[in-house]
Structure 1
Amino acid sequence: MSSRVPTNIITGFLGSGKTTAILHLLKTKPADENWAVLVNEFGEVGIDGAMMSEQGAMIKEVPGGCMCCTAGVPMSVGITALLRQKPDRLLIEPTGLGHPKQVMATLRSPQYQDYVDLKATIALVDPRNLSDEKYYSNQNFADQLACADVVVGNKVDQCQVKDIDRFNAWITDQVPPKVFSKLVKYGELPLEVLDIHSVYSVAKNEGDDHHHHHAQMEPQFQLPPGEAYSRRENQGQGYFSCGWLFGAEYQFDFDLLLSMLNDITAERVKAVVNTSRGCYAFNVAKGVVSVNEMSLEGFESRIEVIDSSLMPWDQLEDVLLELAGVHK
């Protein structure tokens, strides 16, 4: 690890399109470069890493809520493992329910200062959320935008003129001003923003003032031998999650699964699932379901549901078991 690796933090609240943006960056990166991605999810079953694995990036996951907890050990282990593979760039995606302050402080610490060249922290925001009290009053939502060097208004194709005007007004009012801002759709970040230098400074002990409960962190949530499926729950910061992992031998009925996802009332659903039509990634945000075919084979299906209310997980599990043909 003799040279410093350009590193970016890609942050943003639930449903802002972080994973889609990183997938776009991986697809458009220079062909001769090898990139690494450290992914943290509030949930427990590692959906984002599965989605990114097809792009040839080196992936490490820190499931379970907040990568900077537990004395920073999960995050440090993941960063060090990726740096040892000598990537040309490292992207770090903190959970949508967290903030990047402690991550920034760690990357600037003596442990990594000789190995990491911290570039711009990029925050994605759905402009529609800037007028929604539920989001605007959330401290983590505000922190993510405040500490970003670059703010990108994503999903502009789904916004109204008033949403765009509010985003532009918010950007204009920022003190100190943001280094760069842009409105995009489909997470289409321009590659050049990655090389913008980071100007946000983290004060001593900043980022240590957050406290929340989350499930015990493990290197990866795995399916126990001989089990058809497994379930893991998490909660914190006013949100609840439940994730399921199903054995690779089980296939979900595609049409019935899609129908269920269209009907579900949860605020956020992510899934990578073996279906009767092949492997597909499903993404649900603001009631909109997006579907993308994947080329994975022999893959364990993963489904994660997040909501600000505690949902009837047992009932949802019964539906999933029926769709997969699993008998309790």
Structure 2
Amino acid sequence: MLTPTNIITGFLGSGKTTAILNLLKEKPANENWAVLVNEFGEIGIDGAILNHQGILVKQVPGGCMCCAAGVPTTAAITSLLRSKPDRLIIEPTGLGHADKILTILMSEQFKDHIDLRATIALVDPRNLSNSKYLNNENFIEQLNIADIVIGNKIDLCTSKDVDTFNDWVTDQNPPKIYWQLVKHGHFPYEIVNNIRRSQPTTNVHEHHHHTQMAEPLVLGSDQQVIRRENSGQGYYSCGWLFSNQVEFCFEDLVSMLSDLSAERIKGVMRTSKGYITVNISNGVVSITQAPEPSDDSRLEVIDSQKLPWDQLDKILHQLAGLL
């Protein structure tokens, strides 16, 4: 039996994980889904968030999941398929090459196991007027290979942004099979069942990243914190993994993170007000309560400039009471 499979792609901060969380809430109660998550950073934030949704999740952290001949990806997909899920969702990093993921899924290895459905790309319409994104190879590629395009964060857009999105999407050739403007990553659950276009529009190319993908990090019995950095595609990341014994003051942590000038901040943190999910993108701060993880706290900061990581590391250690 073939497993229906969707790629949900989109650039950094477009709302992929939120959209997947919404889909998981709306999926049929009798279906078991699996999710493969790839992240640019090496800490694994999205996997930690999705792990509390009662589904099977595997992570490929530390870069584009199609690197290293796709070995980590193919191994992870094979493992997930062994659980016989009713659907497989794949979330590539927003800084990765989604075209090569398509190639892996359409390979001989998976042709008798995967029913590849429509690829869904999320885009912030505001970025369609920004040369920083329009000149980015990955941004262009993610939108080109998509069968379905969701213009997300419409609540933050101007009427000009909406017009730009509508003009762009109607000019696509071949045309997209579906598009919609939404907020908070909410789109109709049924679109995951759309079949993909018969002829893929991918131009697969070779590429390289600064580092190879890492295995998911695990704290040793005597460790309270691990820090890892990554870089590639013109972006830099620094992430921290804290022991579950570490508790941050809620007010101090949120204040510090809100003041950072980074393009993307994401985390699941244990605080004086319980575990919280932190999501900061382009200055918009979202703090929500999270189910209490049993293992650790995780934080990832990504920016197009290399930030003073040592200084931030010291501040986090102070907030954690480790100095």
**AA matched with 1:258:** V
For structure 1, the 5+ residue unaligned runs are none
**AA matched with 1:291:** I
The answer to whether the Cα contact below 8 Å between 1:40 and 1:95 also exists between their aligned partners in 2 is yes
Compute the displacement of 1:56 (Å): 0.9
1:230 to 226, 229, 239: 226
Compute the displacement of 1:218 (Å): 2.9
The answer to whether the Cα contact below 8 Å between 1:148 and 1:200 also exists between their aligned partners in 2 is no
After superposition, what is the alpha-carbon deviation per residue over 1:88-131, rounded to whole angstroms, capped at 9, x for unaligned?
00000000001211111111111000000000000000000000
Partners of 1:160 and 1:22 lie apart in 2 by 25
After superposition, what is the alpha-carbon deviation per residue over 1:15-42, rounded to whole angstroms, capped at 9, x for unaligned?
1000000000001111110100000000
SS at match of 1:120: coil
**AA matched with 1:91:** I
Partners of 2:215 and 2:225 lie apart in 1 by 18
Partners of 2:291 and 2:206 lie apart in 1 by 42
Q: Would you say 1:207 and 2:199 are equivalent positions?
A: no
2:245 to 232, 249, 269: 249
Give the alignment's Cα RMSD to 1 decimal.
Answer: 1.2
Compute the displacement of 1:55 (Å): 1.2
Report the equivalent of 1:126. Answer: 124
The equivalences for 1:1-328 within 5 A come to 3-199=1-197, 201-202=199-200, 206-214=203-211, 216-327=212-323
**AA matched with 2:43:** V
* TM-score (norm: length of structure 2): 0.98
After superposition, what is the alpha-carbon deviation per residue over 1:53-79, rounded to whole angstroms, capped at 9, x for unaligned?
121111000001111111111101110
Partners of 1:26 and 1:112 lie apart in 2 by 24
The answer to whether the Cα contact below 8 Å between 2:144 and 2:201 also exists between their aligned partners in 1 is no
For structure 2, the 5+ residue unaligned runs are none
Compute the displacement of 1:202 (Å): 4.3
Partners of 1:283 and 1:193 lie apart in 2 by 26
After superposition, what is the alpha-carbon deviation per residue over 1:191-227, rounded to whole angstroms, capped at 9, x for unaligned?
11101111164479x423222222x423311223311
The answer to whether the Cα contact below 8 Å between 1:105 and 1:202 also exists between their aligned partners in 2 is no
SS at match of 2:302: strand
The worse-fitting range, judged by mean Cα deviation, of 10-19 and 289-298 is 289-298
**AA matched with 2:319:** L
Partners of 2:179 and 2:51 lie apart in 1 by 29
The answer to whether the Cα contact below 8 Å between 1:11 and 1:99 also exists between their aligned partners in 2 is no
After superposition, what is the alpha-carbon deviation per residue over 1:221-260, rounded to whole angstroms, capped at 9, x for unaligned?
1223311101000000100000000111000110001101
Partners of 2:6 and 2:58 lie apart in 1 by 15
* TM-score (norm: length of structure 1): 0.96
User: Which stretches of structure 1, 4 residues or longer, exceed 4 Å deviation after superposition?
Assistant: none
The percent of aligned pairs where both chains have the same amino acid is 56
